[in-house]
């Protein structure tokens, strides 16, 4: 029997939960060739949502391209990966090579097929003659024009998904934003989704005085309704032949902080443990035994995270866990947990957010990793 829960990778369609409204809106906007900004904290299922939207658009006949910006270590490497992804819409690599050479004659791209992958197989794209920052800038203008050329040549709309878009900040972000905006705004047959998982940075990128200000609609992912998520978890258990105890889904969602990644992870591991025991029922005791096992396996890693924090950050982190992220700056909270003055608490909170340990949602602070939250609650003082 196959485990019905998926985590650590893009969730396939049959394991995808809710997001019907978000998916419909994203597909509609991209099909209309809008330039969409999708902002989501980590572990909310952003990449899975994008993949579902691209699959639907592909079935409608649109050409779809997906690039994860954070996968690249330099601006030039990103341009090479972007060009390769666009060329890969061709069914044969030799045609892809010809198209790139015709589209980028001055850049003289080197296109190589990776061995053993067949006619449609993977290939690499490099620009060996590009060296200086000025040359990279000229190349970017040409590469960013490719989606429009592709749509015109193939007589089909093109949709480009740039995931983890905030990573362009590391590629001289200002010039990248200007070049991309200049290209995208004249490409009437190309839809874009610029998706990012660092909300504060993404909000700045679409703010006033930035190139992408009012460039297109903005979508912000919220949490999946917990009761719906709990029902999904229990249904997946039941369909796989493992009968869940009433309330098991709600308990998994609560322990996992209603973070899609952590919910799927805890459900996946609980299902594995129950099946390994030969049982056909899953109850709350099974869940807590699985949680204890996972925390034990992650003990060394979580300890390393804890040790990297200053004493002030540890105290504030623990207060966030025990107070469910609420009223951390209040005098009563600071007194009870011996946190010091408001300015020092705020400094610690800001540092924890920058380190991707905490996430601020409105006036509440949330631990990014729900299992780390449980470890802090159980193992620290």
Which segment of 152-156, 175-179, 324-328 scores lowest on mean pLDDT? Answer: 175-179
Q: Do residues 140 and 176 touch, judged by C-beta distance below 8 A?
A: yes
Give the whole-number percent of the chain exceeding pLDDT 70: 95
Q: Of 165, 155, 199, which Cα lies nearest the Cα of 66?
A: 165
pTM of the entire predicted model: 0.83
Under 8 Å between Cβ of 6 and 264: yes
pLDDT at res. 156: 95
Domains of the chain: 19-220 (3.40.50.300), 226-297 (1.10.8.60), 307-379 (1.10.10)
What's the mean pLDDT in 98-127?
80
Calculate mean pLDDT across residues 207-223: 90
Top pLDDT among 261 and 61 is at 61
Give the pLDDT score at 39: 94
Q: Enumerate the β-bridge partners of residue 220.
A: 39
Mean pLDDT, range 295-319, rounded to an integer: 96
pLDDT of residue 13: 62
Beta strands in the chain (DSSP E): 35-39, 63-68, 110-113, 123-126, 158-163, 190-196, 218-220, 243-244, 281-282, 358-361, 364-367
Contact 158, 191 (CB under 8 A): yes
pLDDT tens, 258-292? 988 899 999 999 999 999 999 999 999 999 999 99
Q: Out of 14-28, 190-204, 294-308, pick the least confident.
A: 14-28
CB 311 within 8 A of CB 319: no
What per-residue string of b and e applies to 232-269 under the rule 16 or more CB within 10 Å gives b? Answer: bbbebbeebebebbeebbbbbbebbbbbbbbbbbbbbb
Q: What is the pLDDT of residue 162?
A: 97
Mean residue pLDDT of the chain comes to 91
Q: Is the pLDDT of residue 45 over 90?
A: no
Summarised one tens digit per residue, pLDDT across range 327-380 is: 999 999 999 999 999 999 999 999 999 898 998 888 899 999 999 999 999 999
* pLDDT over 80 (residue 250): yes
Q: Which residues pair with 163 in a beta bridge?
A: 68
DSSP 270-328: HHHHHHHTT-SEE-HHHHHHHHHHHHHHTHHHHHHHHHHS-HHHHHHHHHHHHTTT-ST
Which of 76-80, 211-215, 320-324, 325-329 is least confident? 211-215
**18 alpha carbon, distance to own chain's centre:** 17
Give CA–CA dist 274/287, Å, rounded: 9
What is the mean pLDDT of the segment spanning 78-87? 94
pLDDT tier for residue 190 given thresholds of 50, 70 and 90? very high
State yes or no: pLDDT of 319 exceeds 60.
yes
DSSP 8-state assignment for residue 179: H
Q: 144 with 176: CB under 8 angstroms?
A: no
Report the alpha-carbon distance of residue 24 to residue 219 in Å, rounded.
Answer: 12
Q: Quote the CA–CA distance of 89 and 84 in Å, as a whole number.
A: 9
């Amino acid at each position: 029997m196959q485990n019905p829960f998926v985590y650590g990778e893009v969730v396939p369609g049959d394991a995808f939960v809710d997001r019907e409204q978000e998916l419909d809106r994203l597909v509609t906007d991209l099909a209309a060739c809008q330039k969409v900004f999708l902002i989501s904290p980590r572990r909310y299922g952003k990449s899975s949502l994008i993949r579902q939207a691209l699959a639907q658009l592909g079935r409608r006949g649109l050409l779809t391209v997906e690039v994860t910006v954070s996968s690249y270590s330099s601006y030039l490497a990103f341009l090479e990966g972007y060009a390769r992804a666009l060329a890969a819409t061709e069914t044969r690599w030799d045609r892809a090579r010809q198209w790139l050479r015709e589209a980028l004659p001055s850049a003289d791209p080197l296109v190589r097929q990776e061995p053993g992958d067949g006619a449609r197989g993977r290939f690499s794209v490099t620009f060996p003659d590009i060296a200086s920052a000025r040359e990279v800038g000229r190349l970017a203008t040409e590469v960013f024009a490719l989606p429009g050329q592709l749509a015109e040549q193939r007589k089909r709309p093109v949709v480009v998904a740039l995931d983890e878009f905030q990573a362009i900040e590391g590629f001289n972000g200002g010039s990248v934003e200007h070049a991309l905006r200049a290209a995208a705004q004249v490409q009437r047959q190309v839809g874009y989704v610029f998706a990012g998982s660092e909300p504060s940075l993404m909000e700045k990128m679409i703010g006033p005085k930035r190139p992408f200000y009012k460039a297109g609609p903005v979508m912000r992912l919220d949490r999946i309704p917990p009761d719906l998520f709990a029902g999904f978890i229990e249904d997946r258990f039941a369909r796989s032949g493992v009968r869940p105890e009433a309330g098991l889904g709600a308990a998994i969602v609560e322990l996992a902080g209603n973070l899609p990644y952590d919910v799927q992870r805890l459900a996946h591991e609980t299902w594995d443990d129950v099946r390994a025991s030969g049982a056909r029922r899953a109850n709350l005791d099974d869940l807590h035994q699985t949680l204890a096992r996972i925390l034990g396996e992650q003990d060394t890693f979580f300890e390393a995270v804890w040790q990297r924090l200053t004493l002030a950050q540890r105290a504030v982190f623990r207060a966030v866990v025990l107070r469910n992220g609420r009223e951390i700056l209040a005098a009563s909270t600071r007194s009870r947990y011996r946190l010091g003055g408001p300015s020092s608490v705020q400094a610690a909170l800001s540092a924890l957010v920058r380190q991707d340990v905490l996430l601020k949602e409105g006036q509440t602070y949330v631990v990014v990793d729900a299992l780390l939250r449980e470890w802090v609650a159980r193992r620290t003082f």
